[in-house]
Structure 1
């Protein structure tokens, strides 16, 4: 799964006053209190694309086979990288026109429509709300997958330790409700940072242990397919998009760089990170699929031996890492929802309203997880709807609107290119939803 999604930087840094006759360069006008180095930005972006979604890659390749899966991973990486690129370029262009030093994701979309073609300016507020709710949907959908990750791992551990007392995944989801509600009551980011550090350390150990088991038994590999039926491919696409997309944290990372001019370009922070991510995802997917074949599960840690201390350690660490990451991932949607709700209530109700909102949000994620307790299918569904919308649809639309009156390139290059990306998005959305929902109905109803 994806990886760990952080909060949007909701501040707009106002530009310094400049002579109206001079060209305005927003990159030189930023005044960041604690700027991040280029190397630090590389690791921040790497972390946003690497996470629990990495463990789902072998299951993704099961839906395509080795050859289409390997090529498809590279294709998704290229498309995801391009969409990040056009979002950042558009943000810089509109920042220059509006004479502000930096804009976050939502503000970029809002200002593009506000200063775009006159017929589209009336949709400015709708776009702002749509992007905010898409961001919240990504986080809430992603955290529902986290609930299944935790519940499935707990069930796997407990079934092995207590074979006479086996319970359903749904019951484990219900058991997680109170701990997750308490964790989600933390309202300040600084108190979540230690949990994030612990989760990162756990993920590193999990990755090393998983590689040890997959590589050590590769000579006894299971029977695998080079290519499967095309009808299974949509679940692969939505799973990889879920695992790889980290576009919601791109603007905060780029905005806080000490040298933002090094974010794009060749090699650049973005390109370097995504090349590494694509290779790592392909490697883990191929090794895991070669080792376990058609028996590979939604998280490869569920395939690890039940009776070996090292494998048990990885399974326990998955529970710890994903549990603590849950609180961090809920921060952004809680912030968005509270900003919408706060102004409608008297200040005396704020505390109880926050408690109720945070509790109901956790209940929603747990209910969704319990309704679709299959990790593979839930990842496919969430990836097809939420992650593709935030990572593909919105950047394509925003660039097209921004360039409409400014020129769409030689031979309308931008229009044709974005039309193809829109077709790709629709394929992921419609086929991914259809495949996931059909599989869910066949399995549970």
Structure 2
């Protein structure tokens, strides 16, 4: 029942296809989210953004810790080498408090559903990001009245996105993944080049933003920092997994470094551009400079490569778990698989065209998927694993209940704020 094959690692757990199984593709936990951090700080305010991002980084590391530790416990109990995230939650709910028993049969479906939506949501972000960055370069060379609408740039990317989504062997994308990582590092260098010189007075920026904007900040930051897929994949492939956890383990040190980088990017970008900051800091670069134009196009290429890698996960989940079992006698399995890949690309385009604003789609993906995947389900898992021994004063139970409440509040408040932003966007477009 509990297979440990590489394919099931990729299709049943929250992993990214960038570092799964025995693949040598480099893991990436820094993507478009970091370039949106300055805009997130605009919503939270400078001081609130710095403190909140540090706290969200700590929360993220802690939740991943309890998730992996709980999976260790379940593997030992069942004497298996690996349990995927959906399997872990199902088995834990079966052995936990009675209130979770009825949820157990549906746990794999629910986790996989959120994972599919999350990964396709990332692909939606990529569609908007690539199109907006190329458009920013093209607009400089066109008269204002002749500028091409963003939707046409989206359609320009459709065939390339579909083509890379049709790559069935991830090894073919490995060299391109290295190129994408190199471009990412170069992009950060260019960001520093534009951000650090000529900074205005630090005290001119508000310490706190509007309370109604905070859920959008939270969604963007959670989208940027939440790296459950990457860290679980790395942990599954470590020669000495015990070094992954612990106060000074790979996870805590890695998340600490990443969190500091994200705080720095958000603070410096907002400090430099203030209220003029855009959904991606690259869109604030001087449009007339060749360096800015080059980096916008290069990073769009890097994100394009990542589209195929991120899209691999939902395709494999849907195909392996839900579609292929129904096509056992079909002679057209390959055709159906490519139809699924085409459908996933079309779906990402429908959302991207409906919400073509980068910061809104990032917040939407963050607040809808990550409170359940990254906070609620790990808390439920630890409750079930530790049941009925929750320690002195049942503090572990209280702590996990608070995490579940936090995830629900973040989900509801975030969705409310995102819906208001979408309504405001529609009204502005219709004026």
Q: Same fold (TM over 0.5)?
A: yes
Once superposed, what is the RMSD of the aligned Cα atoms?
A: 2.2
Give the whole-Å Cα distance in 2 for the aligned partners of 1:136 and 1:33. Answer: 19
CA distance, structure 2, for counterparts of residue 111 and residue 161 of structure 1: 58
Give 1:68-147 correspondences, 5 Å limit.
Answer: 68-117=48-97, 120-147=100-127
String of CA shifts for 1:32-91, please: whole Å, max 9, x gaps. Answer: 99699xxx9xx84xx32x122110000000001110000010111111111101000100
Name the CA distance, whole Å, in 2 between partners of 1:167 and 1:10.
Answer: 39
Which residue in 1 is equivalent to 2:324?
Answer: 342
Alpha-carbon deviation of 1:301? Answer: 0.1
**Contact 2:95-2:384 within 8 A present in 1 as well:** no
List per-residue Cα deviations over 1:269-297 (Å, max 9, x = no partner): 01101110111101011100010001100
**In 1: Cα distance, 2:124 partner to 2:286 partner:** 26
Between 101-110 and 180-189, report the one with greater CA deviation. Answer: 101-110
Partner of 1:372 in structure 2?
A: 355
CA offset digits 1:228-257 (Å, max 9, x no partner) = 221211111010000111112332221221
Q: How big is the shift at 1:266?
A: 1.8
Deviation, structure 1 residue 259: 0.9
Q: Secondary structure at the match of 1:186?
A: coil
- Give the structure 2 partner of residue 4 of structure 1: none
| 2:227 paired with 1:249 | no
Task: Render the CA deviation track for 1:359-396: whole Å, top value 9, x for unaligned.
Answer: 01100001101100111111111100012221111111
CA distance in 1, matches of 2:40, 2:138: 26
Check whether the contact 1:135–1:333 (CA below 8 A) recurs between aligned residues: yes
- Quick one: distance in 2 between partners of 1:120 and 1:221? 50
Unaligned runs of 5+ in 1: 1-6, 13-31
1:309-324 pair list within 5 angstroms: 309-324=290-305
Deviations 1:315-362 (A, max 9, x none): 111210111100000011000010110111234121110111100110
Task: Give the whole-Å Cα distance in 1 for the aligned partners of 2:379 and 2:287.
Answer: 46
**Aligned length, in residue pairs:** 411
> Which residue does 2:150 correspond to in 1?
169
The aligned residue for residue 278 of structure 2 is: 297
Match of 1:288 among 243, 264, 269: 269
> What displacement does 1:186 show?
0.7
Shift of residue 117, structure 1, vs aligned partner = 4.2
Spell out the pairing of 1:418-433 with structure 2 (5 A cutoff).
418-433=400-415
CA distance in 1, matches of 2:260, 2:404: 26
Aligned to 2:397: 415
2:139 aligned with 1:156, yes or no? Answer: no
Alignment of 1:4-83 (within 5 A): 9-10=9-10, 44=27, 47-48=28-29, 50-83=30-63
Decide which moves more: 226-235 or 140-149. 226-235
> Is residue 310 of structure 2 the alignment partner of residue 329 of structure 1?
yes
Tell me, yes or no, if the aligned pair for 1:115 and 1:121 is still in contact at 8 Å.
yes
